[in-house]
Amino acid sequence: MNILVTGGAGYIASHTCVALQEAGHNVIIADNLCNSKVESIDGIKKITNKEITFYEIDVTDEEAVDIIFSNHDIDGVIHFAGLKAIDESVRNPLEYYYNNIVSTMVLTKACQKYGVNRFIFSSSATVYGDNKVPFEETMILLPTTNPYGETKAMSERILTDIANANPAFSVSILRYFNPVGAHESGLIGETPSGIPNNLMPYVTQVAKGRLEKLCMYGNDYPTVDGTGIRDYIHVVDLAEGHVAALENLTEGVHVYNLGTGKGTSVLELVKAFEEANGIKIPYEVVERRPGDIALCYADASKAKQELGWTAKRDLIAMCRDAWRFEKNHKE
Ligand code: NAD
Ligand code: UDP
């Protein structure tokens, strides 16, 4: 299939482009590089040794998107492009609502015009809010505490309404848990700008000596050791989940959790990183981070049953691959 991958130069999408090409699909990338660099596309090419068509465009731009659909016989769209920094979304809600929602509308409109009926959307476990774990796809979504989370819930709703009104339109909504790690080649990975917000990139930068120590946000949660529990998933497993979703897509709207189903505490992740890489990570326990929840992990059984997909790579592989990329990566 010819697959338009929006945000294709980004962290999760670049790994998905590799998985798509390895599964025999052609990839067309649309990315405005607002949070990525063209080098990641070079990385994809090096890994797969295949050509990629790249459009440096903003996917909220209807005319630019229309050109791509008219130039290529597109079979499906995987819509990753989006802004994702939670704190920035609180400071700048309009930018987040505009970028993340208008992009979904522009792309679905082009799909309708050109008769493209396969659409896969990057959603997030954040839409569950502080529900009871493990999170199941059928749960009532709880309001999130930030505009970013709302853009995901709203995009899910928009896609559901469009699919309900157009029975041929097939939508897969993928709710990611906590993607970490990198491709084992070390050629592509996560490159946050500035000081990382997320745990794993923070840990790898402490390991590199760029940051002095990890600030552990609270150790008084009702969890095994008091630190927050998350469902970390290797980004290559996540990428493979997209290929499974694409190849098993049927009419209607389908929602899948892409996680491992296993919760890991902050302390456990730090220990696993130290064990995997033989590097000590100094840390200090500080106040809880506002908006954080204690527990977040998936019930991952639906994706296994319906897509035949499960995450295979363990926490040690996640830590090893994250560090390999960070170590080799030059800013
Ligand atoms: P990323 O920032 O690395 O990738 C997003 C890409 O989209 C970037 O390359 C950016 O340049 C591009 N982009 C953003 N707005 C665009 C626009 N209007 N037009 C064209 N390109 C645009 O982020 P990621 O972590 O790879 O996330 C990919 C998707 O998955 C996002 O939608 C994100 O919200 C979602 N998601 C991420 C996580 C996570 O923890 N990383 C968790 C759940 C969901
Ligand atoms: N965390 C931490 N220090 C950091 C970043 C994160 O202790 O510098 C904790 C955070 O409180 C949460 C877990 O690590 O319990 C995962 O946080 P991340 O931001 O990576 O993911 P999210 O909270 O969005 O699921």
33 lines ligand 1 (CB under 6 A): yes
Q: Is there a domain that residue 319 lies in?
A: no
Active site residues: 148
Which ligand sits closest to the CA of 190? 1
Task: Examine residue 220 and state whether it is found in any structural domain, yes or no.
Answer: no
- Per DSSP, what are the bridge partners of residue 179? 233
Give whole-number Cα distances, 286 to 90, 194, 220, 305, in Å.
22, 21, 10, 41
Q: Is residue 148 part of a domain?
A: yes
Question: What range defines the domain where residue 27 resides?
Answer: 2-182+232-259
- Report the number of distinct structural domains present in the chain: 1
Q: What is the mean pLDDT of residues 147-157?
A: 97
Residue 52: inside a domain, yes or no?
yes
- Site to probe by mutation for ligand 1, drawn from 122, 127, 151, 159 as the one with most ligand atoms within 8 Å of Cβ, is 122
Nearest atom within ligand 2 for CA of residue 227: 15
Asked whether residue 322 is assigned to any structural domain, the reply reads: no
| Ligand 2 pocket residue status of 215, Cβ below 6 Å | yes
CA of 230 to the centre of ligand 2 (A): 8
Whether 199 maps to a domain, the answer reads: no
Residue 129 domain-assigned?
Answer: yes
Residue 167 CB: number of other CB atoms within 10 A? 10
Q: Is the CB of 292 under 6 A from ligand 2?
A: yes
Which positions ≥6 away from 166 have C-beta within 8 Å? 112
- The model carries a pTM of 0.98
Question: CA-CA distance, 47 to 22, in Å (whole number)?
Answer: 10
In a domain, 289, yes or no: no
120 has pLDDT over 90: yes
- We report the CATH number of the domain holding residue 252 as 3.40.50.720
Residues 54-109 have pLDDT tens digits of 999 999 999 999 999 999 999 999 999 999 999 999 999 999 999 999 999 999 99
pLDDT confidence bin for 203, thresholds 50/70/90: very high
What's the rounded Cα separation, in Å, for the pair 52 and 188?
A: 15
